[in-house]
Structure 1
Amino acid sequence: MSVPESVEVIQSRALEGVKHGFLGRRGGVSTGLYAGLNVGLGSDDTPELIAENRARAVAAVAPGAALTTLYQVHSADCVTVLAPFEERLRPHADALVTDRPGIALGILTADCTPVLFADREAGVIGAAHAGWKGAIGGVTTATILAMEALGAKRERIAAAIGPTIARASYEVDDAFARRFEAADPENERFFAPGKPGHHQFDLEAYVTHRLAAEGVRRIEALGLDTYADETRFYSFRRATHAGEPGYGRQISIIAL
């Protein structure tokens, strides 16, 4: 398959030398609400178009690799992938790790935070879907532990945080903020004042903090706001605010 030049692959310097990419809407075949590179199996997009988009995504990042994704449920669960599994058998989890070449780990997002991990020396990679539930629940911690079980060392792990909803776009209420502050009073720093009874939450900064607290020494946050850039990224919150009946998902991929 020839890779369309219009497929945008956003890469991180932290993962230089590792096949990886954060993809958005550009370069896909879907139309209408899902216009672009929609890879969401859970969307109401045409299945044949989703399949073509997924094929284009893999071809753009790791040609010939077997794409392996999850049935994401906003958990802190991580799966160790020893062989590709069929789409219909996707585990209910929100992170994957592997040490096997030829497997492309994929995480789908539409505002939540995608995190890609690599210990180049050990030959171990990981990918995590960190929405606020998974982030506070410890999905990045679970990913690091699973990588260590395959021989990685956390001080060697590099992590890249891809396109996610930014603080300016992420309004939450008092109850939401109290949940994070109950977990750790210092989490107050990730909330900026908003309108009465509301706050602006910095999910990207919170995930960065969790990674650093776990001993990850090299972290790059790309600072790309999914909500604010409609032509480049899908956004669940933007679609909700617009009263749209559906939304697309973008994919983040890493492979050995």
Structure 2
Amino acid sequence: TFLDAVSRARPEIGDYPFTTIHPNVGVVQTKDGRSFILADLPGLIEGASTGKGLGHQFLKHIERCRVILHVIDMGSSEGRDPLEDYEIINNELKDYQMRLLERPQIVVANKMDLDNAKENLERFKKKYPDVEVFETTTIIHEGLDPVLRKAADLLATTPTFPIMDDEGTESSVLYTFEEKRPEIEVTQVEDHVWQVTGTKIERVFNINKLNTEEDFYLFADRMRYMGIDAALREAGCMDGDTVQLCGFEFEFIEN
């Protein structure tokens, strides 16, 4: 990750069916001696701003950030369209409100060493000509220093945003009817992308804090005990496929 390349933070990911990049924090220092704290946050999925899965829990992490580094896989290493990903993330930030789009955003085009990265970057610049883009290849630490200098510059001039925005809010209660949902359901979203939903899995996910390697092992054991990995295999999920669960994305790994 970007955090690995620019700090001493080393998030540990276990070798078991479900892995994810969970929030990690590292201290970053620029070559000219300035330092700041960088938080590496999990990827958003569409609908997170409306509370889909644990989307609100993830977005609350961003509320505490003054500057946003928006890292895009410009090389489409997972077969995704970087322009579409960029739009989805910004739409979620906008829909969540809390003045997230008022925060300065640094766009980082990562994985520029891949074959189709240059072509994707040209498409991006054509569609967003006013957006400054920093090209990086974090695996070889290329292009990182300009990003860090820009971040330090913005942090020096960007004020702290209030965590809660009470402007224009009213006290109200909304009652809704929700159709009974299955406890566990596996759905194929697109090729090699699967979504696990259901009341039982979301309840278990919500009560488990994934802060340490041991937490991940325990959570993976619960998934196996509940039959999630077996249900994914039965549905056709294969090694390396992406699994979306409660607002997070995981990689399915066959033991």
Q: TM-score range by the shorter chain?
A: 0.3 to 0.5
Q: Which structure dedicates a bigger proportion of its chain to strand?
A: 1
TM-score by length of 1: 0.32
TM-score by length of 2: 0.32
Pick the structure with greater CA Rg: 2
Q: Which structure dedicates a bigger proportion of its chain to helix?
A: 2
